[in-house]
Amino acid sequence: MSTYLNSIITAIFIFPLLALVLTIPYMIFEYHKYGAITKKRVLIMFSFIFYLLCIYLLVILPLPSIKEVSHYTGKWYNLKIFEFIGELRSTKQFVISDPSTYISLFTTNKIIEPLFNVLLTIPFGIYLRYYFNKGWFTTIFYTFLLSLFLELTQLTGLYYIYPRPYRMFDVNDLITNSLGGFIGFIITPIFAHFLPSTLELEEEVLRQSKDVTFSRRFIGYLLDILIIGIPLFFLRNKLNYLVLFSIIVLYFALSLIIFKGQTIGKKIVNIKLENTNIFKSIIRSLLFEGLLLHLYLPLLYFKINPLYVILIQISCYFFIGFNIICEKWIGSYNLLIDNILHLKISDTIKHEETYIIRL
């Protein structure tokens, strides 16, 4: 029991770091597919990730030393189906004709381990049916694949980090894990009764996606900077700061013209700048993506004191932050520059073609 508890405690410490790594990819996926991120969906998805982390650590921990494992001589695998049943019959601890020995079943590893393997994947079956809307066969199949991954992790000695397996591959674990996933599928309605339906979750997404949030816009911008930043990083020694600044401005301006109000990043998160034209695109890119977000580049080109450059750029970021706070206060999702140029960023997802919406 202490081993299981230690694995869960380890998962609690690792999860914040894992969540931090997965947050941006998760936001990109949610904004691309749904156009909004709701608290309920985030809670369900990240609880699912935490659950997967727990069962993974339960399988691999505690980690022995490589030297210790190199001296192991036990079996690597067991391919005998339901071997534990035959072992129970042969043990004196359990006599099928004596009901008083039934309690002893729950004190022997021959029963505890199969039961644990069943319980381990019941939540997996619940998640697959409730959140991912999978059928019973798909649930069993995915649970089997999860179990196979865990067993192969053991069989390969944690992907050949160890000279040999330090835990045994057991075909019975595949069966009991798959059974657990199926049980989870069957009992899902019990839990779903206390949770919002998937239809309610979809309706909530539809309502929120109509307003293009600043976080959604930021993810689109982040993707654009990543796209343009990778080649510029390798060319940084061949280009001066002013040229880098000009390339960034031209990228955002030309993208809006070529893709009719969208950059590549905006396309990924499914938003667009409405009623744009060449003049407005250039002005917006120069003022916002250029002078506000990347003012440090021309300042460095003119050899201004780096300390002043940092302070000026931070001031620009504070101005944008203050603008966002003010807009959210009045219930708006447009920046000052967009209001001045009479531009609006809108959602491009056709939700009615994707979901059955109850309005």
Long-range contacts of 15-24 (CB under 8 A, 24+ apart): 15/49, 15/50, 15/53, 18/49, 18/53, 19/46, 19/49, 22/49, 24/219, 24/222
What six digits make up the tokens of 286? 């120069």
Q: In terms of Cα–Cα distance, which of 142, 178, 206 is closest to 359?
A: 206
C-alpha atoms less than 13 angstroms from C-alpha of 161 in its C-beta half-sphere: 10
The Cα-based distances of 103 to 15, 118, 232 in angstroms read 37, 19, 69
Q: In terms of Cα–Cα distance, which of 249, 252, 273 is closest to 264?
A: 252
Q: Please, are residues 341 and 280 in contact by the beta-carbon 8 Å criterion? A: yes
How confident is the model at residue 188, as a pLDDT? 94
Q: Pairing mode, if any, of strands 271-274 and 344-347?
A: antiparallel
Give residue for tokens 């002013």.
242
Residue 211: partners with Cβ closer than 8 Å, 6 or more residues away: 333
Rounded-to-integer distance, Cα 272 and Cα 268, Å: 10
Q: 333 has which bridge partners?
A: none
How confident is the model at residue 357, as a pLDDT? 44
How confident is the model at residue 319, as a pLDDT? 95
The Cα-based distances of 219 to 31, 144, 169, 208, 222 in angstroms read 9, 35, 43, 16, 5
For residue 286, the 8-state DSSP code is: I
Rounded-to-integer distance, Cα 87 and Cα 99, Å: 18
Q: 77 has which bridge partners?
A: 169
Rounded average pLDDT per 10-residue block, the chain, 359 residues:
81 94 94 90 94 94 89 82 64 58 60 86 96 94 96 92 90 94 95 83 80 92 93 85 93 90 93 84 91 94 93 96 93 89 87 51
Rounded-to-integer distance, Cα 260 and Cα 19, Å: 35
How confident is the model at residue 352, as a pLDDT? 60
How confident is the model at residue 274, as a pLDDT? 85
Q: Please, are residues 327 and 334 in contact by the beta-carbon 8 Å criterion? A: yes
Q: In terms of Cα–Cα distance, which of 248, 278, 274 is closest to 261?
A: 274
How confident is the model at residue 350, as a pLDDT? 76
